[in-house]
Structure 1
Amino acid sequence: MKMKLLIIFNLLLISSHFAISQTVQNSAAVEKVWAQYNKYKEPAITDRFMKHSEMMPLIQKHVTSKFVTKEEIGISVGDRSINHLTAGRGKMKVMLWSQMHGDESTATMALFDMFNFLGASDDNDNLRKLILDNLELHFVPMLNPDGAQAWKRRNDLEIDVNRDARMLVTPEGRALMGLAKKLQPEIGFNLHDQNYLYSSGRSKNSATISFLAPAYNYPKDMNAVRKRATQIILAMNKALQTKSRGNVAKYNDDFDPRCFGDTFQGMGISTILIESGGFYQDPEKQFIRKLNFLALLTAFESIATASYEREALKDYDLIPENDNSLYDVFVKNVTINKEGHEFKTNLGINRTQLKSADNSSMTFSGRIAELGDQELIFGYDEIDATGLKFTPAKIKTMTRAEWDKLNPQQELDLIKEGYLFVKWLNGKSPTGAIKNRLLNLTNNSENQVQAAGIGQNAEFLLTRDGKPVYAVINGYKVDLNQPAKVLSNTYGY
């Protein structure tokens, strides 16, 4: 009897060791692809503003290579095709759709990186084969091409496609619902972007990736379908924590019957929402694009091996919730003189995103968003202004030729003298965004920002004994003790 128990124990030990080894091996396979990511990153996509006309040749590339098959499942309000791509030969059906909000493109970029990986043949073939042998992958990239064209959230009927799961007014919504009913996938990925000012809990960590296993009813019950979605999220969270610790959050799970994620969950599709938020100094979301790639690759591996089933549901509660705790710049303990009153306070500063006329790029305009005492509030950039005073900047006059000849160090030297604006002596200067400078231009004779006020342009100095220590220029922090470095854009007033 003892011998029999010993044999059973040894068999269990060997089995357990094999399972652990497989997990480690699979993780190693994903880690290897992560290290080689640039090999798979789609070079034709360099920013967030890809349009339908630019996407179609990329789709055709993968159709021609026979990695995917393509089916047109609908036509948008603006007469653009909505495309369904299929890859893989497995039994488990997984459906992914991106950019149902037209200005939320991070996952679309990552999907084309994923196509390059899955359609290749190299030393990562074992992982690739594991995924394609076990999964049948269905992709709908850029569900809302009209929104992408105009870089707006809604479609050309001005309807939020993600709130159209019940009425199905939009052709985009009908296309997605029709595909889901036809395929009846076991798992779905709803791929979005969210406000970059969300934080992971009440912390200074941005919510770079936020997850949700949507509820399928108002009581937010947990059935087997939602459980599977939650466990897959936990597998992805573990992978992301190794690359961007503390930058994962979870989305609010209040039930909304208008939304596709909630509706699909109720239809028996284990649906996972992925929201791409913000990351420090990543305005084009290229690092976040890479994190999306990692999250999806991890999910595919865990689904193919069913390793997600080992995840404990209680760990989902440990992921912090999204919180609105971030500014672009947070200035603490600054001394302000306003209307004859001198006081110490905090300033929250945000940069509004302004899209170009052709909806292909973005510039920024910084303003003071909050003034006063604030609790558990942080900034992507922070300034401890203890002992520093809010000081209006001066205007430097010079000719346009002199302005054109200024280099970054000369601009920084002028800022150290208290100047943030240049007024041309011989003509009117342009208004709006000015790229790759440190100083602003102005056509005004006096600085319009004389005291801190909510809604005012974020253009001021922080001084000690009259000497500038920091500058806030168009909502950007500039440390005057650091080397000169141009900003994404300053502004012409």
Structure 2
Amino acid sequence: MGFKRTIFTGLLFIIVQIGFSQDSLNVKKELDLVWDNYTFFQEETIKNRFIKHADVVQLIQKHINSGLFFNEEIGKSVRGRSINHISFGRGKTKVLLWSQMHGDESTATMALFDLFNFLSGNDEFDPLRRLIRNNLELHFVPMLNPDGAQEWKRRNDLEIDINRDARLLVSPEGRALMEIAKRIEPEIAFNLHDQSTLYAAGRTDKTATISFLAPAYNYPKDMSESRKRATQLILTMNDALQMKVPGNIAKYDDAFDPRCFGDTFQAMGISTILIESGGFRGDSEKQFIRKLNFYALLTALESIAQKSYVSQSLAKYDAIPENSRSLYDLLIRNVSITKEGIAFRTNLGINFAQIKGPDFASMTYNGRVEEIGDMELNFGHQEIEASNFSLSPGKVKFLLKAEWDSLSRDAEFELLKEGYLYVKCTDNQTLTGALSGRILHLTNQDESPVQAAKIGQQAQFVLFQESKPRYAIIKGFVVDLSKELQDLSFPE
């Protein structure tokens, strides 16, 4: 009888394992289908990255009303804005995720609300939702720094960098995060940030679209069990993201900093993962990177729920290239310039300065020359090979004010093709610089305000090929003069 019971028990175990494997296989397929159907979960009220605290509060209320999420206020910012803690799930493994501790780093905040939409859905992806809900207890703190978000700035209103406040806990926002972490005692934590779009994945022309880090917990950078778990989860997300953006994944420098929350939590035994959202060509509002965040987090949560990450070999971590700040927004190679009466060929690295718009809800850009010289190990988001080009300041066109006011866009473009970048109204002192809807800039000078490529100088000049204007560089943006006007996309 005991022998039969043993056989029965063994068969039952095999059947259960087969069922579990089939469920696991189905979940993997679901993840790919979720990626394909992302637009159904994307929070449609978030149109750009300049999300504010009022938007967050309204969206939180929507999800509380669903009955699946629970919310509490765990503190207030310096300016009295609520810091919210949202929870979901009834599993044993606790996971803490927080975003926007730097106010101008909002990509993950957008992605978290996409994730909330997914978790509260009811469709063919229910097996994945059940897996997460039944195995995990999720805790979210979206927009930890609402005052910084309000004015689109990194620090809080005490001018404290919250991510360097884990020891002193001067900021109310930092205290709120530390207190919730100590109260819930998560096994795993995600520290969600943005980084400069000028980072590359290693010494390549590939942007570091997503960068990971399993922070060190001491100066020798030892590998504890909590750090090992964080590293294995990074490798799981890396495997998934490499299928979507191959070559655009990097890892952050792991030098220990006891001031930082990630390093501090790692020392507390919380497996902490830093995710930095960088750049991706053509995605200035980071809407595609938002999708990558959503997918990476969902992949990680599925892996935590099934503990599938434990099969990852730590040796693979070394293969992920390190962040390298080696990109420029525009790199002009081998261009001939003349300075101090000396003509020479060199390379120009141009980066955009960001200019906050009204109510800190938009951004304009102004390109400036940041580097002149050898750039063998640098790349540009956009590059011009200028071996046959020479740089010249733009010319000034003299017009009457009435002539300028009536100048059509086609006529402006024709002047641009002749090498003019500026207009001076001879019968009237005018505002100078760029005007909305116009191509040429106004000046009160008789010659170009930008005479040469100088470090810190606005990138405003013309590239000539055989004495003919070929490209106009206006505020760092490239205008191809060989194209027709309708092909001209000139940012304002």
Moved more, 278-287 or 92-101: 278-287
Which range moved further: 390-399 or 433-442? 433-442
The 8 Å contact of residues 336 and 390 in structure 1, kept in 2 or not, is answered as yes
Output the amino acid matched with 1:169.
Answer: V
Structure 1 position 17, deviation (Å): 8.9
Q: 5 Å matches for 1:16-27?
A: 24-27=25-28
Q: Specify whether residues 14 and 329 from structure 1 end up closer, same or farther in structure 2 by C-alpha distance, changes over 3 A only.
A: farther
Point out where structure 2 has 5 or more consecutive residues left out of the alignment: 1-11
Question: Kindly tell me: are residues 94 and 482 of structure 1, through their superposed partners in 2, closer, same or farther at Cα, counting changes over 3 Å?
Answer: farther
2:350 paired residue number? 349
Asked if the contact 2:434–2:441 (Cα under 8 Å) also holds between the matched residues in 1, the reply is no
Alpha-carbon displacement from aligned partner over 1:90-111 (angstroms, at most 9, x marks no partner) = 1111100001011111100111
Aligned residue in 2 for 1:278: 279
Residue identity matched to 2:310: E
Q: CA deviation at 1:396?
A: 2.9
What residue is the counterpart of 1:225 in the other structure?
226
Aligned partners of 2:433 and 2:442 also within 8 Å: no
Q: Residue 79 of structure 1: SS of its match in structure 2?
A: coil
Who is 2:458 aligned against?
457
CA 1:404–1:194 in structure 2 vs 1: closer, same or farther (change >3 Å)?
A: farther
Aligned to 2:167: 166
**Which residue number corresponds to residue 490 of structure 2?**
487
* Change in 2 beyond 3 A, CA 1:341/1:175: same
Residue identity matched to 2:119: L
User: What amino acid is aligned across from residue 414 of structure 1 in structure 2?
Assistant: L
Structure 1 distance, partners of 2:388, 2:18, is 60
Please tell me the root mean square deviation across aligned C-alpha atoms, in Å: 2.3
- Shift of the 382–15 alpha-carbon distance from structure 1 to 2, 3 Å rule, reads farther
* Contact kept in structure 2, 1:438 and 1:485, CA below 8 Å: no
Between 438-447 and 226-235, the greater mean CA deviation after superposition: 438-447
Seen in structure 2, the aligned counterparts of structure 1 residues 12 and 409 have a Cα distance that, compared at 3 Å, is farther
Equivalent position of 2:31 in the other structure: 30
The 5 A counterparts of 1:171-190 are: 171-190=172-191
Kindly provide the amino acid, as one letter, of the partner of residue 378 in structure 1. F
Do structure 1's residue 101 and structure 2's residue 102 form an aligned pair? yes
- Paired residue secondary structure (2:203): coil
**Which residue number in structure 1 is paired with residue 147 of structure 2?**
146
The 8 Å contact of residues 408 and 486 in structure 1, kept in 2 or not, is answered as no
Distance 1:362 1:15, change over 3 A: same
Q: Structure 1's 84 and 389: CA in aligned 2 closer, same or farther, altered over 3 A? A: same
**Partner in structure 2 of residue 244 of structure 1:** 245
Corresponding residue number in structure 2 for 1:74: 75
| Alpha carbons of structure 1 residues 231 and 22: separation in structure 2 relative to 1, 3 Å | farther
- Partner of residue 423, structure 1: 424
Q: CA deviation at 1:411?
A: 4.0
Task: Give the equivalent residue in structure 2 for 1:116.
Answer: 117
TM-score by length of 2: 0.92
Bigger mean CA deviation after superposition, 193-202 or 126-135: 126-135
The offset of 1:445, in angstroms, is 2.9
Deviation of 1:481 (Å):
2.8
The answer (yes or no) to whether the contact 1:23–1:307 under 8 Å persists in 2 is no
Structure 2 Cα separation of the partners of residues 395 and 120 of structure 1? 60
**Contact in 2 for aligned 1:364/1:433 (Cα 8 Å):** no
Query: 1:377 Cα deviation (Å)?
Result: 0.5
Indicate the SS of the match to 2:26.
Answer: helix
Deviation at 1:73, TM superposition (A): 0.2
* 1:132 matches 2:124: no
Residue 369 of structure 2: aligned partner: 368
Paired residue secondary structure (2:488):
coil
Q: 1:408, CA displacement in angstroms?
A: 5.7
Shift of the 423–167 alpha-carbon distance from structure 1 to 2, 3 Å rule, reads: same
Q: Which residue of 2 aligns with 1:320?
A: 321
Give the drift of 1:470.
Answer: 1.7
Give the aligned partner of residue 217 of structure 2.
216
Q: Contact between 2:200 and 2:327, CA under 8 Å: does it hold in 1?
A: yes
CA displacement, residues 244-270 of structure 1 (integer Å, 9 cap, x when unaligned): 111111000001111000000111110
For residues 20 and 440 of structure 1, what CA distance do their matches in structure 2 show?
65
Alignment partner of 2:127: what SS? helix
Cα–Cα, structure 1 residues 13 and 369, in superposed 2: closer, same or farther, change >3 Å? Answer: farther
Per-residue CA distance 1:215-268 (angstroms, 9 max, x = gap): 011111111111110111111111111111111110000011110000001111
Cα offset, 1:15, TM superposition: 11
Counterpart residue number, 1:57: 58
Residue 407 of structure 1: CA displacement? 6.3
Letter in 2 for 1:373: D
The SS at the match of 1:358 is helix
CA positional deviation for 1:272: 0.3
Separation in 2 of the partners of 1:12 and 1:332?
A: 65
Q: How does 1:365-404 map to 2 (within 5 A)?
A: 365-398=366-399
Q: Secondary structure at the match of 2:360?
A: coil
Secondary structure in 1 matching 2:178? helix
Q: Which amino acid in the other structure matches residue 477 of structure 2?
A: Y
Q: Residues 125 and 410 (structure 1 numbering): CA distance in 2 closer, same or farther, change over 3 Å?
A: farther
Spell out, residue by residue over 1:436-465, the C-alpha distance to the aligned partner (whole angstroms, 9 max, x if none): 554333343321112221111101111111
The answer as to whether partners of 1:396 and 1:421 remain within 8 angstroms in 2 is yes
Distance 1:418 1:300 in 2: 56
* Secondary structure at the counterpart of residue 367 of structure 1: strand
Per the TM alignment, residue 404 of structure 1 is displaced from its structure 2 partner at its CA by 6.2
Contact 1:436 1:487 in 2 (8 A): no
Q: Secondary structure at the match of 2:359?
A: coil
Question: What is aligned with 1:7?
Answer: none
The TM-score with structure 1 as length reference comes to 0.92
What letter is aligned with 2:314?
L
> Aligned partners of 1:441 and 1:70: how far apart in 2?
53
- The range that moved more, 170-179 or 37-46, is 37-46
Aligned pairs, how many? 479
